Amino acid sequence: MSKYEKLLKGKMSEESFQKLIRLENEKVMDFIGEFAEHCNPVSLYVCDDSEKDRMYIRQTAITKGEEKIIYLKNQTIHWDGYNDQARDKTNTRYLVLPENMERMKALNSIPYDEGYNEIMEIAKNIMDGKEAAVLFFCEGPTESVFSIPCIQITDSFYVAHSETILYRPGYNHFLHMKVKDDFFKFIHSAGRLDERGCSINIDKRRIYMDTQNNIVYSMNNQYAGNSLGLKKHSMRLAINKSGKEGWLCEHMFLMSVLNQEKGRKTHFAGAYPSACGKTSTAMIPGEKIVGDDITYFRKIDKEFRGVNMEQGIFGIIKDVNKDDDPVIFANLMKDQETIFSNILIGPDNRPYWLGCGMTTPDEGDNHHGRWKKGDRDEKGNEVPLAHSNARYTIRLDYLDNFDSDAFEAKEGVKVEGILYGGRDSDTTVPIEESPTWKDGILLKACTLESETTSATLGKEGVRTPSPMANLDFLSYPLGEYTMNNINFVNGIDDPPKIFSTNYFLKYPQGDFVTGKLAKKVWLHWAEGRIHGEYDAYDTPTGKIPIYNDLKKLFRELLNEDFSEEDYNYLFTFRCTQWVEKLRRTGAFFRKIDPGTPAEIFAYWEQMEKKILAAKAKYGDEIKPGAFKG
Ligand code: SPV
Ligand code: MN
């Protein structure tokens, strides 16, 4: 019997209360009770997995004005506040015990008591006068070895609605689960709202994570990356949990590559920093998608197996148009459950966004309010028709290329290829295979970088280190995480092959060397290598394709010519560039985690020597095939 039963009974319908009682879980009662008391909503609505409850959540988001129906009745628009359009890195912190503060310094931490007191102060009565929703989800397939049960309490019905689209329902999982006290807990409040339903107290926006107790507090925000417990908050808890338990939580898509000719299906996962081609790889025409953002990996029967922990996409909408992203675009034009956020709704009540490939109106409603072309914000900056981080939220099973069998598999799918995809204009070749798993982690995963383009703020051409594309979500020190990645495959018979990709090589005069779909060729070369096909040339850092194989693949898959001249340019090994890249990586690790094991630095130093020796022998630019070890 929980001490909060009376309080909870008084704040909810009998039906809601019975849903809690049926779970026979005191820990669940205590969590909900504690925050029902502390945040003090007028009432709470408890959801089970029924269609009725899902519809109640969506309908309430509309009734409360957090979402509006647009010209297709199953689609809605939600606006986050003008200053709540992306993840707030500064105010996202780990609550860390004093003895661990030193190690966690680089990961934006706050001493436990100080942070806990601050967030509880902010949360006190924050739901005053509002209704809150209590939702149960399961990350990964329910009742499987991957499952992580989660509870979300929120006073934002937009947040609740988004989660019903993006995550597997979990009430029944909670009903049946044997271990009753191991679940993730998320408490969110949008705080006080303005007349558009946006959070007012952005200066009190805080996202504090307690990995000791698997709870995340998120206050005074709505942007999904800040508000949805199961998205990036949960990912941080899962990274910590996986580190302790010996599995992996990675910022990776999961896909199935289909070889029609050989009748093969091969699963790949891939990590890409933002704007490096993650979604476009997962959505390559002719292949299948299993997940687009977060994958859990476990060893099962000596196999490397992965699941998509989500069931929907919270995707960047910018540049989704009928030419560049035909599958997503077609789905956004259908009358099916979709939440658009921070785009423009025109006078015709239709959705428009940057790069949508349609003629856009000169006025409408957007993240800044009533908008017309040329409007300026409070700081005098011109307000674009939509935010560049505007999003769509849909279920994956709408997509024709969704691999539902792979998605449903309780034991996940066997992953045979891992891709680490960076962005640079002059260093990394389009595809390179790593000789071993460990080399792959240290040379492909740890050295990932993205290069700024004219589309991002600041100087063009700056390379930002992004190890494993996961740094924003690391919840324990980078060196330890790297070692866990290396050691994860111990005991696995046939670890995946690791590949690096780079779709962004340019000729010195500034043009990209290949078209957008060349990535399909690189991927199919990797697929062939996994199955023992294609010879390869060695480079100091791995193995690259031979011209004739690529020429054939370009012809077969894209019906394109691929010139030997382009091949030689693309696959040249550039010694100085690589040495610089290794030095940047080493310096970055020393800064972020001075405790990184010495063997990691020693590996990079050794590699640098190998490259310098190759440079002395073959020259600074080594043409494919020239390097002989
Ligand atoms: C990302 O930024 O990696 C996303 C969107 O997937 S967010 O929810 O903001 O994290
Ligand atoms: Mn992501």
pLDDT tens string 450-499 = 987 665 556 777 899 999 999 999 999 999 999 999 999 999 999 999 99
| CA atoms of 309 and 239, how far apart (whole Å) | 13
Ligand 1 pocket member 293 (CB < 6 A): yes
DSSP 173-232: HHHH-S--S--EEEEEE--SB-TTS-BS-GGG-EEEEETTTTEEEEES--SHHHH-IIII
Instruction: Give the per-residue pLDDT at 458.
Output: 61
**Rg of the chain's alpha carbons, rounded to an integer?**
25
Mean pLDDT of 558-562: 97
Q: Measured in angstroms, how far is the CA atom of residue 569 from the centroid of ligand 2? A: 32
Q: Rounded to the nearest 5 degrees, what angle is found at the Cα of 593, between the Cα atoms of 270 and 459? A: 65
- Strand 391-395 and strand 312-316: the pairing is antiparallel
C-alpha torsion sign, points 270, 92, 453, 507: negative
State the DSSP code for 445. I
Residue 577: both structure tokens together: 């560039």
292 in contact with ligand 1, CB cutoff 6 A: no
Question: In ligand 1, which atom is closest to the CA atom of 316?
Answer: 5
Residue 231 CB–ligand 1 contact under 6 Å? yes
Q: How far apart are the CA of 225 and the centre of ligand 2, in A?
A: 9
- What angle, 0 to 180 degrees and rounded to 10, lies between the N-to-C axes of helices 598-618 and 478-487? 80
Q: What is the predicted pLDDT for the residue at 104?
A: 92
Residue type, 299: K
Note the pLDDT of residue 416. 98
Return the higher-pLDDT residue of 232 and 629.
Answer: 232
Rounded to the nearest whole angstrom, what is the distance from the C-alpha of residue 225 to the centroid of ligand 1? 5
Q: What does the pLDDT look like over 433-454, one tens digit per residue?
A: 999 999 999 999 999 999 876 6
The rounded distance, in Å, linking the Cα atoms of 385 and 342 is 9
Q: Tell me the CA distances in angstroms from 134 to 17, 50, 128, 378, 508, one per residue in order.
A: 11, 14, 16, 37, 56
Which atom of ligand 1 is closest in space to residue 87's alpha carbon? 9
Count of residues in the chain = 629
225 lines ligand 1 (CB under 6 A): yes
DSSP summary character for residue 506: B
pLDDT class for 1, splitting at 50, 70, 90?
confident
Q: Please tell me whether residue 480 adopts helix, strand or coil conformation.
A: helix
272 lines ligand 1 (CB under 6 A): no
What is the b/e burial string over 497-506, where b = at least 16 CB atoms within 10 angstroms of the residue's CB?
A: bbbbbbbbbe
8 Å CB contact between 157 and 133 = yes
3-state helix, strand, coil in the chain (%, to 5): 35, 25, 40
Question: Can you tell me which atom of ligand 1 is nearest the CA of 391?
Answer: 5
Question: Beta 206-210 vs 92-96: how paired, if at all?
Answer: parallel
Q: How far is the CA of 443 from the CAs of 96, 107, 578, 616, in angstroms? A: 31, 23, 10, 21
Pocket-testing residue among 80, 205, 231, 278, ligand 1, by greatest number of atoms within 8 A of Cβ: 231
Nearest CA to ligand 1 atom 8: 225
Taking the CA of residue 86 as reference, the ligand 1 atom at the shortest distance is: 9
Give the Cα separation of 236 and 214 in Å (integer).
Answer: 10
Best mutation site among 88, 230, 239, 293 for ligand 1 pocket (most ligand atoms within 8 Å of CB): 293
% of the chain beyond a pLDDT of 70: 99
**551 vs 170: CA distance, rounded Å:** 49
Cα 230 to middle of ligand 2, angstroms:
12
136: nearest Cα among 269, 46, 264, 255? 46
Report the distance separating Cα 270 and Cα 291, nearest Å. Answer: 10
Cite the DSSP H helix spans in 246-396: 278-282, 326-332
Task: Quote the ligand 2 centre to 303 CA distance (angstroms).
Answer: 26
Nearest CA to ligand 1 atom 5: 225
Active-site pick, 39, 138, 276, 356 = 276
The atom of ligand 1 lying closest to the CA of 293 is 6
Q: Ligand 1 pocket, 229 CB below 6 A?
A: no
| Distance (Å, whole) CA 463 – CA 453 | 10
Predicted confidence (pLDDT) per residue in 92-118, tens digit: 999 999 999 998 989 999 999 999 999
Question: The whole model's pTM is what?
Answer: 0.97
CB of residue 314 inside a 6 A radius of ligand 1: yes
The answer for residues whose C-beta is within 8 angstroms of residue 556's C-beta and 6 or more apart is none
Probe target for ligand 1 pocket from 232, 233, 234, with the most ligand atoms within 8 Å of CB: 232
Q: How far apart are CA 444 and CA 420, in angstroms?
A: 6
In terms of Cα–Cα distance, which of 257, 254, 256 is closest to 557? 257
pLDDT computed for residue 460 by the predictor? 74
Question: Is 276 an annotated catalytic residue?
Answer: yes
What's the fold here for domain 5-66+86-245?
Phosphoenolpyruvate Carboxykinase; domain 1 (3.40.449)
Q: Is the CB of 278 under 6 A from ligand 1?
A: no
Q: Which residues contact 207 (CB under 8 A, 6 or more apart)?
A: 88, 91, 92, 93, 216, 217, 218, 219, 221, 226, 233
Structural element, H or E, at residue 61: helix 51-63
CA distance 46 to 25: 15
Chain-centre distance for alpha carbon 587: 26
| Exposure letters 142-173 (e unless 16+ CB within 10 A, then b) | bbeebbbbbbbbbbbbbbbbbbbbbbbbbbeb
* Ligand 2 center to 94 CA (angstroms): 19
Beta partners for 219?
189, 206
Q: How far apart are CA 326 and CA 425, in angstroms?
A: 27
Model confidence pLDDT, tens digit, residues 218-269: 999 999 999 999 999 999 999 999 999 999 999 999 999 999 999 999 999 9
Q: To test ligand 1's pocket by mutation, which of 276, 314, 341 has the most ligand atoms within 8 angstroms of CB?
A: 314
Strand partners, 95: 110
Substitution candidate for ligand 1 out of 274, 389, 473 with most atoms within 8 A of CB: 274
87 in contact with ligand 1, CB cutoff 6 A:
yes
472 lines ligand 1 (CB under 6 A): no
Residue 93 Cα, ligand 1 centroid: separation in angstroms?
A: 16
Six token digits for residue 109: 């931490």
Average pLDDT over residues 139-164: 98
**CATH: 3.50.50.60, 3.90.228.20, 3.60.150.10, 3.40.50.10800. Which one for 250-309+408-622?**
3.90.228.20
Q: Position 468: which residue type? A: M
| Domain 314-396 is found in CATH 2.170.8.10 | yes
Question: What is the average pLDDT score of the chain?
Answer: 96
Contact 232 CB / ligand 1 (< 6 Å) = yes
Q: Where are the domains of the chain?
A: 5-66+86-245, 250-309+408-622, 314-396
Strands 363-366 and 215-219: unpaired
Distance 473 CA to ligand 2 centre (A): 10
Query: pLDDT value at position 339?
Result: 98
Quickly count: other Cβ atoms within 10 Å of residue 350's Cβ.
16
Neighbours of 408 (CB within 10 A): 10
Residue 241 in tokens: 């949990």
Atom of ligand 1 nearest to the CA of 224: 8
Ligand 2 center to residue 293 CA distance, Å? 5
Residue nearest (by alpha carbon) to ligand 1 atom 7: 225
